Structure 1
Amino acid sequence: MFPMASSSSSSPPLSLLLIRALPSKPLLLSRHRKPFPYPKSGRIAVARAQQRLLRLPETGRWGRSWRRGGGFPCFSYNANNESPPPSDKSSDNWRILQRWDVPWEWQTVVLSMVGCGVSSVTVVVLGVIFGITNTFRPFPDDVFRYDIKEPFKLKNGWLLWAGVGLFGAIISIGLTGAAMTYLNGEPPERETDSLVLLLPLIGSSTTSTAFLVGITGVLAPLLEETLFRGFLMVSLTKWFPTPVCVLVSAAVFALAHLTPGQFPQLFILGVALGFSYAQTRNLLTPITIHAFWNSGVILLLTFLQLQGYDIKELLGAS
């Protein structure tokens, strides 16, 4: 039996003592916590550090919450703002490391660079040729002649003889290819052929086809015919007969393409270009033959690819 509580007003009843709340956990911990043994100077330094932490502003992106019963701040990231970027991807925030969003493919890059390179080479080579020979002006009428007059004249019509030379070149190159296939037993390998290297660009888009036709059908014929026929072949005729000069310039023309497997065909084409130029003494004749040859091949392969043919297999490339 419990003794009866006194009715004195100086002490509370027993029931109130029983229902009084127990001390909280931090209070219990603080009563049993042993003080950290540090000197007075260390105690003053810790007190000052705690006062500075208590005076930290609560503005900005970071919020602060306090743990009850202790003097250490707890910082949390503001959920209303974006999460901080990972440390391993922080370099993406540097503009000098960011990439451009490029809409075109690699074919466009190749065509643009090749076009600029060929056009630059054309301008430079023609500038060198005409710059060096400029001291010998005025030229004879049949030297460096680009004349569009009388294209169908029987004697020296540039367009008429361009058609004759193109037809002769097609027949001769076809016979040469057949003879090589018969002698070797199989078509020649064409891994290094420039045409095989251009296969990914042929027919890939209208723009790429137009660029290829412009480069191979305009710039390349203008440069090569002015250099090999208009300058080299004409210059050699000062010491050698014209047929010999045609053969020599054709051989140099074939070697300049750096495709040993296609040397016979390129040599035959160079011979046709040289004799047609010797007939008309007009550079528009070999330029026209060369342009129709190059652009005709590109357009024919593009048409065959659009029809579903495997042009790589047709060319005999492995």
Structure 2
Amino acid sequence: MKDHSTRLALVAMLSDGQFHSGEALGESLGISRAAISKHIKVLQSWGLDIYRVQGKGYSLASKLELLDCDKILAQVKCPGLELIPVIDSTNQHLLDRVGQLPQGAVCLAEYQEAGRGRRGRQWLSPFGTNLYLSMYWRLDAGMAAAMGLSLVVGVAIAEALQSLGADGVKVKWPNDLYYQDKKLAGILIEMTGQAGDAAHLVIGMGLNVAMAEQEGSGIDQAWTNLARACDGLPERNQLAATLIQQLHQTLEQYEQVGLEGFIERWNRLDNFLDRPVKLLIGERVVEGVARGINSQGALLLETEQGLKPYIGGEISLRGC
């Protein structure tokens, strides 16, 4: 893994949002002003909004709260909490260590160089403005018991965010969080295991916390961030602790009651319940009215032909 310690120390120095001269930064880090300039360019490529003013030095556009394991663990019990500021993918990090992880282990990052979403798509992961979190969970009931788990995780995240003041957060089938019809977060669950054995799950989420418009300019759908959904944006360490606690509790409940125990909670939070939608299934488009989910996690769509369940990894839901 590449050593980013100098760049991370530079971010920590700039995180106060004040101006720091290149000379002072260089002296503190034991490197030249030219080296500081090169590191600044890398940090900007990570999505950090750093600017320079002649005679004053470098500054972040706004103060930055960095993730801190001690602050998170002061609020929630979490065995195996790892913070790796710069990583390829938090999901992949846990997948590579499945046999060594305690139940509920979590990996957090400030920046993902190869974050991924559903169907292998890239997940945009600028440094320090969002939350990238993956959790390991073992289901002794096997792989079949994981059906519909992304819906349960969506409920957990939405309820956690509502508890922090984001009252309008909703879930979108099968693995997104929405606010005012715009994407707020995505969920990616990856699984390993063999038939008849326990399922090893890595549950990943990317939550837009305070991502700026220019950072999300390449996203091909309407999106929003938590700053717009909350009157007072919670600190990211509090946010991480709340999500970890809610996920632990919800996954334990899921092991007891299965997906059926979450249908009512899903329907209460469903962004498109009783609204006209269209399903994109390959080249085919099916239109109807969304009527919630069934006990298998299928979307129930009412059309002229009646009520029909739809389930599968290659279906995308869109509002009409």
TM-score range, shorter chain: under 0.3
Larger Rg: 1
Q: Which has the higher helix share?
A: 1
Q: Which has the higher contact order (CA 8 A, sep 6+)?
A: 1
Q: Which has the higher strand share?
A: 2
Q: TM-score, normalised by structure 1?
A: 0.21
